[in-house]
A and B are shown apart, each in its own frame.
Chain A
Amino acid sequence: MKSDIILAGVGGQGILSIATALGEAALADGLLIKQAETHGMSQRGGAVYSHMRISDQPISSDLIPGGSADLILSVEPMESLRYLPYLSETGYLVTNITPFVNIPNYPDIELVLAEIRKLPRFIAIDADAIAKEVGSSRASNMVMLGAASPFIDIEFSKIENGIRTIFERKGEAVVNMNLEALRRGRAFAEENR
């Protein structure tokens, strides 16, 4: 089993919460992990990414080699495209379609979505809308994790448990909302893959 995942977004969007949930799930599954993060200057509203590698075999490099990622999981549409050189020939791109506009020259969103649709395998999901439906726009990252889950070789129940672990101290209601967000994301991906 091997899943090489590029997580992408903008500093402050909290992509590391996705990594944490996935990391918990992988650990519970007895898998090995390496995960390179972005800290420092670029966190100030700049482009941020994380290389997350999960495997049942020892992992050498902290960085995913070019052209070999199984998945690009992006919480922002333009950011999903920035890491295309990492995507493998059989890899999936899973992205939120709500743009995060903090630069004056943000391109026309239709042009961005058109580029995403050119790819052979992609899921483009309005995670913000689904998150609001389940109760809070803050759950949008868990919608995204759900949408990516069919393409990650970890049992879904383990990912659910990962979410229980990280949201445990915020109470049952928050846990359930995030689990619902996860399931809705997964259902969307299953229908649209």
Chain B
Amino acid sequence: MQKHLFLGVEAIGQGAIDGGMSGVYAYPGTPSTEITEFIQDHPLAEERNIHRKWSANEKTAFETALGMSYAGKRAMSCMKHVGLNVAADAFINAAMTGVNGGLILTVADDPSMHSSQNEQDSRFYGKFAMVPILEPSSQQEAYDMAREGFALSELTKVPVMLRITTRMAHSRAGVVCSEVLDENQLSMPADPRQFILLPAIARRKYKGLLQSQDLFLKLSEESKYNRYEEGEDTSLGIVACGIAYNYLMEHYPNGTCPFPVVKISQYPLPEKLIKKLNQECDELLVLEEGAPMVEESLKGFFANGNPVKGRLDGTLPRDGELNPDLIAKALGKEFFQGYDIPEVVANRPPALCQGCGHQDAYVAMNEALADYTKGRVFSDIGCYTLGALPPYETIYSCVDMGASITMAKGAADAGLIPSVAMIGDSTFAHSGITGLLDAVNEKSSITIVISDNESVSMTGGQDSSAMGKIESICIGVGVDPAHIHTIVPLRKNHEEMVRLFRQEFAYEGVSVIIPRRECIQRASSRKRNQK
């Protein structure tokens, strides 16, 4: 048995391949990106010709995976937590249609917002869609769940959610791989109306989904990933979900935990195990990464059972990721708290790379905007969001993928003219095009800066689906070609850039300026690979 030292994301990629997956569909997003990258570089994926190209966004990714499932094959869609907001329409309705080939949605949450704009807990989406959720506590479980999740999806006939968090995604541990399963053959759904959610059919399908809940619960209660661990001290019973189980066990090596523990890595919540814990213990402590979802459901509205401690009563912080220290405090354990950080230590925030084209674009924009009152630039999700920080301080918003164009339009509708959108090439392809159409249809006085570095850079330089297509997309959507300009953002072109910005800011209509220069990180890694 060979042990691989896998990141959690790599374990999932390997598990999916070994589970007979025929296609992975994803849009890059930290901390989920490396699942797809791992599959892209995998020799067996090459040999089997597993689909592994990036999708334009999470919604197209999930829908395409659903199409592969329709045709009988096993598929996985991967995204970060906020990506699931984009794919939510498809995901929730896929629980209604059900699957043919096994379908796994892998979603990576980012509590403490290491690289994200919020820390929403995807388990709510799984519960909302009423599908089984798997939440690994180890890289080995991550591998096993990805490999076996397709069969679980085929058994339950719904998509299965595999939920991880940043620490599971980006932490390495030994993983033992199992036998590689064959891919499914092409096969049509037994019921030709399975995927038609016309109201009359949807009502029937929904009743079916509701009836399946008993099966999902039974599977959770019997799951090898959930278990009841006996303990002699019944003054406290602990519910530990996913990776929180590890932080708990850090304090009780070799099975020395005195308290009964229910380890949870599969949902819906295993009722029998939790009821047993509740009966045997005086009070409960819930450890879960993300929102207090389990805690809320155990506490109930009237809180008239055993006391439930966790994030809601202040035993643990309400926000942010867990760690061993927070759990030690929750258990009342004393420990040496290390040395203080000396005051001399300064923050070192991320910054745009030296030589990055976004820098040149911001310097020129600032000069051209000096003639106007401040607060006119709406931005988006990408490296260029760092333009909010000194020395640029150019942008005033960063909300969700594509919101720069639509918010600029809304502000222009309100009378803030000109309003400016700053968006990257990949984000434009992901969710900017529909907003541009709205603006074109109403001849809004906005200038859209598509800062094109020909790459999805913040996540590590993946291929952008807008590569080579931005001008033709803008023309196709209806932007006047006379108001579409491309320029190379270099210091030597500064004056020309400023002139272009000034000219188009003054234009009463939709204009697009495309500063285009390859991401310097991507360029240098491309040159390294060519050597």
Residues of A within 8 A of B (CB): 10-11, 23, 27, 32-47, 51, 57-69, 78-79, 81-82, 84-89, 102-103, 105-108, 111-112, 115, 119
* B336 near A88: Cβ-Cβ < 8 Å: yes
Contacts of A10 in B (CB 8 A): 348
A41 and B171 contact, Cβ closer than 8 Å, known pairs A66-B325, A66-B337, A85-B339: no
A44 and B351 contact, Cβ closer than 8 Å, known pairs A37-B171, A107-B346: yes
A63 and B336 contact, Cβ closer than 8 Å, known pairs A23-B172, A41-B350: no
Q: Contact mask B79-114 → A, CB, 8 Å, 1/0?
A: 000000000000000000000000000000000001
Q: Contact mask B493-507 → A, CB, 8 Å, 1/0?
A: 000000000000000
A61 and B324 contact, Cβ closer than 8 Å, known pairs A45-B353, A87-B338, A102-B348: yes
Contacts of B243 in A (CB 8 A): 62
Contacts of B247 in A (CB 8 A): 60-61, 63
A43 and B5 contact, Cβ closer than 8 Å, known pairs A67-B338, A85-B337: no
| Contact residue among A36, A40, A85 (Cβ-Cβ distance under 8 Å from B171) | A36
When chains A and B are docked, how far (Å) is the Cα of A27 from the Cα of B250?
Answer: 21
Contacts of B346 in A (CB 8 A): 78, 103, 105-107
Contacts of A33 in B (CB 8 A): 5, 172-174
Which 4 pairs between the two chains have the least Cβ-Cβ distance? A40-B30, A40-B115, A85-B338, A67-B336
> Which residue of chain A lies nearest to B321 when distances are taken between CB atoms in the complex?
A63
- Residue B254 interfacial (CB < 8 Å): yes
When chains A and B are docked, how far (Å) is the Cα of A79 from the Cα of B348?
Answer: 9
A23 and B5 contact, Cβ closer than 8 Å, known pairs A34-B172, A34-B173, A107-B344: yes
When chains A and B are docked, how far (Å) is the Cα of A87 from the Cα of B340?
Answer: 10
> Which residue of chain B lies nearest to A76 when distances are taken between CB atoms in the complex?
B348
A39 and B34 contact, Cβ closer than 8 Å, known pairs A23-B172, A81-B344, A115-B344: yes
A44 and B383 contact, Cβ closer than 8 Å, known pairs A36-B167, A106-B346: yes
* B459 near A40: Cβ-Cβ < 8 Å: yes
> Which residue of chain A lies nearest to B247 when distances are taken between CB atoms in the complex?
A61
Contacts of A86 in B (CB 8 A): 338
A63 and B352 contact, Cβ closer than 8 Å, known pairs A23-B5, A44-B386, A85-B339: no
* B339 near A103: Cβ-Cβ < 8 Å: no
- Residue B314 interfacial (CB < 8 Å): no
- Residue B253 interfacial (CB < 8 Å): yes
Sample 24 A-B pairs with CB under 8 A, ordered by A number.
A27-B3, A33-B173, A33-B174, A39-B170, A40-B458, A40-B459, A42-B115, A46-B348, A46-B349, A47-B347, A59-B173, A60-B247, A60-B248, A62-B167, A62-B168, A66-B336, A66-B337, A66-B338, A67-B338, A85-B339, A87-B339, A105-B346, A107-B344, A108-B344
When chains A and B are docked, how far (Å) is the Cα of A67 from the Cα of B337?
Answer: 5
A60 and B246 contact, Cβ closer than 8 Å, known pairs A35-B172, A36-B171, A41-B114: yes
Q: Shortest CB–CB separation between residue A41 and chain B, in angstroms?
A: 4
Q: Shortest CB–CB separation between residue B421 and chain A, in angstroms?
A: 21
When chains A and B are docked, how far (Å) is the Cα of A115 from the Cα of B367?
Answer: 42
* B344 near A46: Cβ-Cβ < 8 Å: no
* B336 near A43: Cβ-Cβ < 8 Å: no
- Residue B328 interfacial (CB < 8 Å): yes
Q: Contact mask B348-362 → A, CB, 8 Å, 1/0?
A: 111111000000000
